[in-house]
Structures are given as C-alpha cells and as structure tokens.
Amino acid sequence: MLKRILLIAAILVPGAAAWAQEAYPLQHADATVNDVQSLQRGARDFMNYCSGCHSLQYLRYNRVAKDLHIPLPELKKNLMFTTKKPSARIVSAMPPADAVKWFGVAPPDLTLMARFMGPDYVYSFLKGFYADKSRLWGVNNLYKPNVAMPFVLAGLQGVQKPVYKSVTGSGGHTSMQLTGVEPGTPGSMTPAQYDQFVHDITNFLYYTAEPFKAQRESMGIFVMLFLLVFFVFAYLLKKEYWKDVH
C-alpha cells in the first residue's frame, strides 16, 4: 500500500525533489534520456554494481531491452543475473528480510528514485560518499547524513576525505563543521571517468523513472510534422472553398 501511495505521489508531484535539499547544494547531472549509449552503459553498470541490493520492480527486462535497443541475447548474457525470463520484473537478488538484517533498512526500490528526488540528487549522492570511521561501513554521505548504504563504488572513485572548519558558537565554544570533501585514497578511475560513470547510471535511473519520456519526445516531433502537413491541406481546402465566393 505504501508503495502504491509513493508511486501515485511521484506521478502527481514530479517536483518532490525539493525534499532532497540538504545543507549542500546539489551537483548538476545534466541528465538526459536521449543518449542511448549512455543509457546502455548505465543499465550495464546498474546491473553490475547496484542490482545486488536494489530492485527496479516497476520495470521488466524486455521493456528496458526494447527501449534501449539491446538485443535479446546480449540482454540475457550481460544484464540478467537472477532470472532467465525476459518478461520478469527487475527484482534484486537480496531478500528484503536479509537486507534489513544487514543494513538496518531495506535498500529502496530505485525505479522512481530519480523522479522522486531528482536526477541531480542521485548524481550528487553517488559522488557524496566520504570516509567516516564512526559509521558501520566506514563511510558517510554529504547528501544523506548517516547513510546505511556501503560505498560499493569505492574501488572506482576511491574514498574522499571530509573537510571541516571550526566555528565558534554563541556560547564561545568552538566546534567542527563539515564543509565538503576532498580527494582521499584514489580509486581505479580518474575523476572525469568517475563522473561519466555516475552520469551514465543517473541517466539510466532517469529513464527508469519515466520510460515514456524518450518516446514522448520523439512523439512530439511526429505530432508537429503532422500538424504542419495538416495545416497545408487545410489551407488548400480553404482556398478551394472560398474560390467561388470571391
């Protein structure tokens, strides 16, 4: 029931992203659903790095394959790890009860996340992890304080370090305030490569949140062309009718 309410809320309130505004301004994802190659890479990376914990349960594999022009054999070989049925929903391998046991909270379904929180939030979240020894997984997140998700992309990005500044409160005592992050231990990717990687996954999740968006945009052009052609005929017809009147 809750899921259904969230689904309806996400459809009615695409601007729900405002919630995500934390103390840190979001980074711009420049998300697009029209770059098919980026979407294909994003789909592959999602299946490899995220689908172990997160589902996209409102989407089916064959829908993704059709929309992103992925041939069926390739879909089966590279993207389907938990089922053999292309018509199956994209459900994570991890049973929700196990997830709660491991993480304290169940990893949310991500089908609508980019619509709910905005693509910039997803992008920023994936770039916002930093080392924090006080946390269970040794990381925290600028945009989601005390996050329960382990930083599964640490091998790629490396682990950033927090930057603090000391502020003096009204009572005269100083405390440390988190102001951002800086590069820490390096990962296997350069910052530019990591940005591209996160951009691809964000685009893919932007697509999953609104699979019709790509179609709608091409449909828009079709409608404009139709109206143009229709206008020409209407105009000729009008001329024909009025010919005898004048």
C-beta closer to ligand HEC: residue 193 or 218: 193
The helix/strand/coil state of 239 is helix
Cα separation, 64 vs 224, in Å, equals 27
- Options 153, 159, 181, 214; binder of ligand HEC; rule CB under 6 A: 153
**Is residue 135 near ligand HEC by the rule CB under 6 A?**
no
Q: Considering only CA atoms, which of 192, 196, 174 is closest in space to residue 183?
A: 192
Residue in the block written with tokens 């980026």: 38
- Among 130, 121, 113, residue whose Cα is nearest residue 210: 113
* Size, binding site for ligand HEC by CB under 6 A: 22
Structure-token pair, residue 187: 């990962």
x/- string (CB under 6 A) for ligand HEC, residues 183-222? ------------------x---------------------
Site string for ligand HEC, 38-57 (x = CB under 6 A): -----------xx-xxx---
The residue assigned the tokens 């990376």 is 45
In this chain, which residue has its C-beta nearest to ligand HEC? 50
Tell me how far, at minimum, the Cβ of 227 lies from ligand HEC, in Å.
40
Write the burial class of residue 58 (CB in 10 Å: 0-12 exposed, 13-18 middle, 19+ buried).
middle
Interface with ligand HEC (CB under 6 A), residue from 103, 135, 180, 213: 103
Question: Are 39 and 197 contacting, i.e. CB atoms less than 8 angstroms apart?
Answer: no
Of 9 and 227, nearer to ligand HEC (C-beta) is 9
> Which residues would be at the binding site for ligand HEC (CB under 6 A)?
49-50, 52-54, 103, 105, 107-108, 110, 113, 122, 125-126, 144, 147-150, 152-153, 201
